[in-house]
Structure 1
Amino acid sequence: MSESAYYQIYCDESCISDRYHVIGGLILNRKHESAIIEKIKTFRSSTNMSKELKWTKVKNQKREQYVQFVDIGSQLFLDDVAHFHALVIDSHQYDHKKYSAGNAETTFYKMMYQFVLHRFGKYLKVGDRFSLFLDQRSTSYSLSDFKTIMNRGLVKRYGLPQNPLRDVVPLNSKEHDLIQMADVFMGAIGFRVNGKELAANACSAKLALCAHIEMNLKIRSLAHPIEEHGFSSWHFRFRK
């Protein structure tokens, strides 16, 4: 009998002021987490990057440091130690009144449900469990209700005999490196899908970082749907 796994999933959202929103996250076996955190700690020490790492802070002055940061993530994906997945949503298709009784927060958690169910649920085998860590947000939506609904969906879709989701934990992204890593990869996807490289004043460091990620992971373009084993981007379509 194979040993059951306990996964950690770290999720966030990006590009919320743009047409195409991005929800993304990292998944890793909990037994690998300490080693990954140590890698990032060493990177921070060697580059003097002690503050929050995020896509909006990618500037020409810190270009090489962010290249090193995404190299850590890319190697984790290629080595099958951690994976990154993203969901791209066209905000012009949002209809909060139709789908969520006019509540934008309900729409967000419905999107998060779809993301976790389809991108991360496929990892689970009988006996596996996971914790879901979300960036803190001001919301009246019940995380306890979300956990219950999420478990029902996972059990039904994958035929699991138990509730695999054990915790839904809000975290301050400024204090958690794995949410920050997810943010940078999400930001790169959002930069491409929103066509920001076409702007006359496009940040050259962000352009270079997108190209570097694409080269490392052998991806034609972050703007298109991606279905690699350790790195994917799913472009969501609402039912008409």
Structure 2
Amino acid sequence: MSTTRLFNVYCDESCHLQHDGVPVMAWGAVYCQATETRAIAQAVRALKTQHGLSPAFEVKWTKVSPAKAAFYLALVDMFLADHRLRFRGLVVPDKGVLDHDRFDQSHDDWYYKMYYTMLRPIFCAPHRYRIYLDVKDTRGGPKTRKLHEVLANSLYDFDRKCIERVQQVRSHESELLPIADILIGALTYSNRGLASNSAKRAIVARLGERLGSTALTRTSTFATTKFNILLWQSREALG
């Protein structure tokens, strides 16, 4: 019988609004056993210090710049080398193809479906999971409760023994949530074909060198566990 373990799952999203003018959207999660969280957080803070940054420095994709490229590359290398950490992502290459009316759903309905689709491969009985989301806006509380309901019901986890909690945290309160932000940022940057920021290009290149040249732009194989993504396609695109 498998020993039950508790996992912390740190989730973020990028360009998730329907009409923000950006074609690509992405969801992602960095996860590890809960017992490893503190040690990994300490390692991230130590890495900041090594690069002359305050332990409280806020790590964000929007702040990636040539001046701090060495730190961000070192953080990516840390993720890649640490067997305790894994990433699961979902990319929608063109949200312009979405037709919610046809499927009798709202954008919010679809949003929760995509979150479930992104997270589902992470869950494995009999383990337990605590999911942490980045604070986005004032709607966060209801959205968090709704996501917990959707995940639990989809897994027939009506007593919430598998999905123990879904709660918001601020990115500066967690060292693992920003890692998810960086990896999701690299996903969207690569799939949008952007190249104006040399530091961001370097991060995308580093991931490609270590994971494979198409790791950020193609659906991963089922056996890929370190960095696994799904490139979502509409029914029309699938034929």
Which TM-score tier does this pair reach, normalised by the shorter chain? 0.7 to 0.9
For normalisation by structure 1, the TM-score amounts to: 0.84
Structure ranking higher in helix proportion:
1
- The TM-score, its normalising length taken from structure 2, stands at 0.84
Q: Residues 185-238 of structure 1, C-alpha deviation per residue, up to 9 Å, x if partnerless?
A: 1111111111113xxxx1112111111122123444422223322111101123
Number of residue pairs aligned between Structure 1 and Structure 2: 225
1:61 corresponds to which letter in structure 2? A
Structure 2 counterpart of 1:144: 145
In the alignment, what sits opposite 1:83? 86
Note closer, same or farther for the CA distance 1:2–1:223 as it changes in structure 2 (3 Å cut): closer
Does residue 1:26 correspond to 2:22, yes or no?
no
Q: Deviations over 1:162-187 (max 9, x none)?
A: 74001010111233221100111111
Residues 42-97 of structure 1, C-alpha deviation per residue, up to 9 Å, x if partnerless?
Answer: 11122133321111211111111111111111112xx2x11101000131132344
Amino acid at match of 2:26: V
Q: What is the aligned-residue RMSD (CA, Å)? A: 2.3
**Residue 122 of structure 2 aligns to which amino acid in structure 1?**
F
- Give the gaps of 5 or more residues in structure 1: none
Letter matched to residue 136 of structure 2: R
Give the alignment partner of residue 210 of structure 2, picking from 186, 191, 216: 216
Q: Deviation string for 1:136-169 (max 9, x for gaps)?
A: 133274433432321121238xxx9974001010
Q: Is the 8 A contact 1:85 1:232 kept in 2?
A: yes
Partner of 1:190: 188
Deviation of the 1:131 alpha carbon: 0.6
Amino acid at match of 1:115: M
Which of 58, 68, 80 does residue 62 from structure 1 map onto? 68
Matched, 1:120 2:122: yes
Please list every run of 5 or more consecutive structure 2 residues that lacks an aligned counterpart in the other structure: none
Using the aligned pairs only, state the percent identity: 24
Q: Which moved more, 1:53-62 or 1:132-141?
A: 132-141
2:99 is matched with 95
Change in 2 beyond 3 A, CA 1:100/1:176: farther
Asked if 1:230 is matched to 2:234, the reply is no
Cα–Cα, structure 1 residues 162 and 57, in superposed 2: closer, same or farther, change >3 Å? Answer: closer
CA distance in 2, matches of 1:100, 1:23: 23
Distance 1:59 1:9 in 2: 27
